[in-house]
């Protein structure tokens, strides 16, 4: 066998052993050593939240009741979902700013009324098994899951939805989800748009906020110092979640949820980096 093939085989073996140890439980952590920040705690001693990205979207169509129910059935600790506004200003749960990818219609969410949006089938594109799934309203989600299952609510593209912060806050108040935060908050509101988050914070300071970050270079000491004025979490993409950035966020007193983590090996490495939550399409993998 050529030298290159031997190297490849060796690498594959190392990855396989690591995954088997991860599955075994805390053996992987024994291999990785003690927690780098706390010194004495191992990763297994900490509670790392398993957050279902757009619901358990690896198993059911994203941002539907089916995906949220699947997340609950799989034992996820929290459900992540995306919120936008319809033409008649209802808070609706959908990721893209148009309906093209997840339905058989075309058009912007902003240009469609709630009635038009809820006529669409958003399950069929994923699998015929999910035919009939509708775009939920935020209110429907709060009614079914509020207070029963922690929710990570993303205000999606708030710049094109003036008033979305007030709308979300009003609904949280209606369902009494505006309480001061607990160990695992009932609700966290997140956005890539820090101006929108600051606006939300003024309206409802009791609800914890998370700043989403996809560019690792954005996590300067200066920006982290700004975030800590209104947010309790900084949620970086997997690319932006290096050990240095995670430590900087923790040092500033905020927690870290990393997205969107799809592979077991990344999950194991993140657990050892002391993250507080992992946002994933496959919450049962963690
Ligand atoms: O929760 C983080 C993640 O949802 C942000 O990305 O595009 O899936 O909304 P996206
Ligand atoms: Ca999202």
Quote the pLDDT of residue 45: 52
At residue 32, φ and ψ (nearest 5 deg) are -80, -20
CB 164 within 8 A of CB 196: yes
Burial, 11: exposed, middle or buried (Cβ in 10 Å; 0-12, 13-18, 19+)?
exposed
Using CA positions, which residue lies closest to atom 7 of ligand 1? Answer: 95
Q: What letter does residue 100 receive in the DSSP assignment? A: T
pLDDT digits (tens, 9 = 90+) for 7-25: 444 444 554 554 444 444 3
Q: Measured in angstroms, how far is the CA atom of residue 194 from the centroid of ligand 1?
A: 15
For residue 103, report the phi and psi dihedrals to the nearest 5 degrees.
-140, 180
Note whether 158 and 97 are within 8 A (CB). no
261 phi and psi angles, rounded to 5 deg: -100, 120
Asked whether the predicted pLDDT for residue 26 surpasses 80, the reply is no
Pairing of strands 233-236, 255-258: parallel
CA of 259 to the centre of ligand 1 (A): 7
What SS3 state is found at 36?
coil
> Per residue in 118-160, pLDDT tens?
999 999 999 999 999 999 999 999 999 999 999 999 999 999 9
| Cα torsion 89, 203, 78, 271: sign | positive
Could you tell me if the CB of 212 is within 6 A of ligand 1? Answer: yes
Q: With contact defined as beta carbons under 8 Å apart, do 261 and 32 qualify?
A: no
Report which DSSP code applies to 263: -
Cα 15 from chain centroid (whole Å): 26
Best residue among 157, 260, 275 to mutate for probing ligand 1's pocket (most ligand atoms within 8 Å of CB) is 260
Check pLDDT > 70 for residue 44. no
pLDDT in tens, 244-282: 999 999 999 999 999 999 999 999 999 888 999 999 999
Cβ–ligand 1 distance for 154 under 6 Å, the answer yes
pLDDT score, position 31 = 32
53 is catalytic: yes
Ligand nearest, relative to CA of residue 235 = 1
Please tell me the total number of residues recorded for the chain in this structure: 286
SS3 135: coil
Starting from the CA of residue 188, give the closest ligand.
1
Q: What does the alpha-carbon distance between residue 63 and residue 93 come to, in Å, rounded to a whole number? A: 6
Cβ-contact 56, 281 below 8 angstroms? yes
- The confidence band for 46, taking pLDDT boundaries of 50, 70 and 90, is low
Catalytic residue among 95, 201, 250, 263: 95
pLDDT digits (tens, 9 = 90+) for 171-192: 999 999 998 767 889 999 999 9
Average pLDDT, the chain: 88
What kind and span of H or E run contains 10?
helix 3-24
Tokens read off for 36: 């780098």
* Rounded distance between C-alpha atoms, residue 268 and residue 280, angstroms: 13
Contact 190, 233 (CB under 8 A): yes
Distance 3 CA to ligand 1 centre (A): 42
Cα angle 27, 29, 33 (rounded to 5 degrees) comes to 125
**Per-residue pLDDT reduced to its tens digit, 65-121:** 999 999 999 999 999 999 999 999 999 999 999 999 999 999 999 999 999 999 999
> By 3-state DSSP, what share of the chain in percent is helix, strand and coil, each rounded to 5?
40, 15, 45
- What's this model's pTM, rounded to 2 decimal places? 0.86
């Amino acid at each position: 066998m050529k030298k290159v093939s031997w190297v490849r085989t060796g690498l594959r073996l190392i990855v396989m052993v690591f995954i088997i140890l991860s599955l075994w439980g805390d053996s992987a952590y024994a291999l990785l050593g003690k927690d780098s920040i706390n010194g004495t705690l191992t990763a297994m001693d900490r509670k790392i939240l398993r957050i279902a990205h757009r619901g358990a979207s690896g198993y059911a169509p994203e941002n539907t009741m089916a995906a949220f129910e699947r997340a609950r059935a799989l034992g996820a600790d929290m459900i992540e979902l995306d919120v936008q506004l319809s033409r008649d200003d209802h808070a609706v749960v959908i990721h893209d700013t148009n309906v093209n990818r997840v339905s058989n219609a075309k058009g912007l969410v902003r240009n469609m009324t709630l009635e038009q949006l809820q006529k669409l089938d958003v399950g069929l594109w994923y699998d015929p098994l999910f035919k009939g799934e509708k775009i939920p309203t935020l209110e429907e989600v709060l009614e079914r899951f509020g207070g029963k299952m922690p929710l990570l609510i993303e205000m999606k593209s708030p710049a094109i939805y003036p008033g979305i912060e007030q709308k979300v806050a009003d609904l949280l108040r209606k369902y009494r989800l505006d309480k001061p935060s607990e160990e695992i908050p009932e609700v966290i509101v997140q956005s890539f748009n820090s101006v929108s988050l600051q606006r939300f914070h003024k309206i409802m300071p009791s609800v914890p906020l998370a700043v989403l970050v996809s560019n690792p270079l954005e996590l300067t000491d200066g920006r982290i110092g700004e975030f800590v004025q209104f947010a309790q979490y900084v949620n970086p993409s997997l690319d932006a979640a290096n050990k240095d950035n995670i430590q900087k966020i923790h040092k500033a007193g905020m927690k870290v949820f990393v997205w969107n983590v799809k592979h077991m090996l990344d999950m194991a490495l993140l657990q050892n980096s002391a993250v507080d939550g992992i946002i994933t399409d496959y919450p049962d993998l963690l």
